Amino acid sequence: MADQRAASELSSTSGESAPPPDLEGRRTAFAEIARQVEGPLLRTARRLCGANEDVAQDLAQETLVRGYGAYMAGQFHEGGNARAWLSRILMNLFVNDYRRRVKWDAGVNVETLTAGGETGPEATRAAAGEVPGASLLRRTLDEPLERALLMLSGSLRTVVLLVDIEEFTYEEAARTLKIPIGTVRSRISRARYQLQDLLHAYAKERRLI
């Protein structure tokens, strides 16, 4: 399990043989947090990294290792949103360290979007021409919408993930990406309309419209 690896990587370098009960309790608490968020973190990493599976795995794992260190140092306020906190660590790691390792696939086309996958009512409404906004993207990322998201350029995809999926404010996204807030607004608008076009093409292909 990634949570166990994260804990062992940190503890193996500390030289501790018998941690005090409160420290052991924090380790146990973080292991439970990691167990709950490991899957969502990896999904977010895959959306950011596209076909770069090894990079996505490394990003998710390093997020847990960094999160473990910060948690043990008391940097997480108990009762807070652990998933959101770890998502911010993941996003910062991606922007600062991992983005340069990702090779974007420029050869994806509409056939890639329409190949396979099941549709639900939310995805069907989106495919019929509705611009997918924050609420839709947070509720459902089924296969057609996942594929459309992966067809966006890296800069647009990252902004969508930050604002519409991870629920960053525009100000938080601007700070994370180190770009002006106006650029965030412009990119999110472009990304949503590109998603609309991609999903419209999907709808025509599947004769939904």
Alpha helices by DSSP H, listed for the chain, are 2-12, 21-49, 53-72, 82-93, 110-114, 121-127, 134-139, 143-151, 154-160, 170-177, 181-205
Please give the domain boundaries of the chain with CATH numbers for all domains: 2-101 (1.10.1740.10), 110-205 (1.10.10.10)
Give 9-51 pLDDT, tens digit per residue. Answer: 544 444 444 445 588 889 999 999 999 999 999 988 988 887 7
* pTM of model > 0.75: no
Render pLDDT for 125-183 as a digit per residue (tens, 0 to 9). Answer: 333 333 344 444 444 456 677 778 888 888 898 899 888 888 889 998 898 888 999 99
